[in-house]
Amino acid sequence: MSDASTEALADAIELQTVRVVRAIAEHRTLTAAAAALGYSQPAVSQQLRRFEQRTGVALVERVGRGIRLTEAGRALARHAHAVATSLEAAAGELAALRGLRAGRVRLVAFPSASPSLVPRLIAALTASHPGVEVTYVEAEPPEAVAAVREDRADLAITFSYPGDRNDPHRESARGLEVRSYTHEPMRLVLPGDHPAAGSDVVSLAELGDEPWIAGCPRCRGHLLELCAEAGFSPRIAFETDNFVAVEGMVAQGLGVALLPALALAAAPGHPAVVTRPTDHGDERSLHLVTARGAERVPAIAAALAALAVLREGAATTIDGDV
């Protein structure tokens, strides 16, 4: 039989036909098969005739006053149980996913979200939907966006800075869904005895002669841009992505720093360090990145809903002075 003929027959085999043939094989008569399926006998006969008209293949033949499966009918019956069982299993799995008794969310987020926002999200999902599996990988925004595009992640929590020429949420996120989540203020980190520590807000221009402690390449680039706008080029003495280490260095008088509020909220807080807003109210934006239409997947929709709830609860942590 040619591939085209096989495909035509496959298209003609409806789920209802499979169920009818399985019932006939089990119950031996049309009447008993119809009763087992909850159909009338004429409806079962019509299903069989429709298949024969479409394919030219008879599934039953008359023997005296009864019927029996033809060779074709017996062949279909051999597969009917496996087909029906697989479909029933698929239906059960879909029902579980719809009811969030199962599912998976592959999460990726930037480092300063790891000790703060991410644990709260995972805990919220685990509490409300214990059947949903959550996995987590830490990555900076460009790598996180790429992970969603390459189907290595379902949901990315990312950030961007105003005016960032290499913002990964532009060209590299084309075709993906990028949702604005919230805005996170930046804070200057100063030694407690610094002359500017007594001010409510601090201008970067006041810190032009200070040594600076910079972070990741994107954060370092943003610092350079802000300092250039303030009229100076910062003298970067140290670089580390470890915000606890940044606080320790600042406490020892080794320099000053600019950190996002989430990083400071996750740090233990050094008694010899103070944090202050900048006079321009500098901030960065947080985003949620998914494939388009991902919100129709129940587990991902649950994660987005949980993040929406957490956004309100996180407002104090993100927006408040640390």
Q: Say what the pLDDT of residue 289 is.
A: 96
Q: Say what the pLDDT of residue 156 is.
A: 97
Q: Say what the pLDDT of residue 92 is.
A: 65
Q: How many helices (H) and strands (E) are present in the chain, helices listed first?
A: 11, 11
β-pair partners for 105: 134
Task: Say which residue, 173 or 238, is predicted with more confidence.
Answer: 238
DSSP letter (8 states) at residue 171: G
Distance CA 210, CA 116 (A): 30
Q: Say what the pLDDT of residue 319 is.
A: 47
Distance CA 248, CA 217 (A): 20
**Hey, which of 47-51, 59-63, 176-180 has the most confident mean pLDDT?**
176-180
Q: Say what the pLDDT of residue 245 is.
A: 92
Given pLDDT bands bounded at 50, 70 and 90, which one contains residue 304? Answer: very high
| pTM, rounded to two decimals | 0.69
Distance CA 205, CA 226 (A): 10
Task: Write the CB contacts of 304 (distance below 8 Å, at least 6 apart in sequence).
Answer: 155, 179, 288, 290, 295
Q: If you search the block for the tokens 């029933």, which residue do you land on?
A: 88
Given pLDDT bands bounded at 50, 70 and 90, which one contains residue 103? Answer: confident
- Largest Cα span, the chain: 107
HSE toward the beta carbon, residue 117, CA cutoff 13 A: 36
Task: Write the CB contacts of 233 (distance below 8 Å, at least 6 apart in sequence).
Answer: 224, 227
Distance CA 204, CA 193 (A): 17
Q: Say what the pLDDT of residue 303 is.
A: 95
pLDDT in tens, 198-238: 999 999 999 999 999 998 888 888 899 999 999 999 999 99
Q: Is 143 helix (H, G, I), strand (E, B) or coil?
A: helix
Per the prediction, the chain carries an average pLDDT of: 86
Distant-in-sequence contacts of 90-97, Cβ < 8 A, 24+ apart: 96/131, 97/298, 97/299
pLDDT above 90 covers what percent of the chain? 47
* DSSP state letters, 168-235: TTSGGGTTEEEEEEEEEEEEEEEETTSGGGGSSSB-GGGGTTSEEEE-SHHHHHHHHHHHHHTT---E
Given pLDDT bands bounded at 50, 70 and 90, which one contains residue 270? Answer: confident
Query: Is pLDDT above 90 for 167?
Result: no
Q: If you search the block for the tokens 């109210």, which residue do you land on?
A: 281
Q: Say what the pLDDT of residue 320 is.
A: 43
Q: Which is nearest to 302 in space by CA: 124, 135, 144?
A: 124
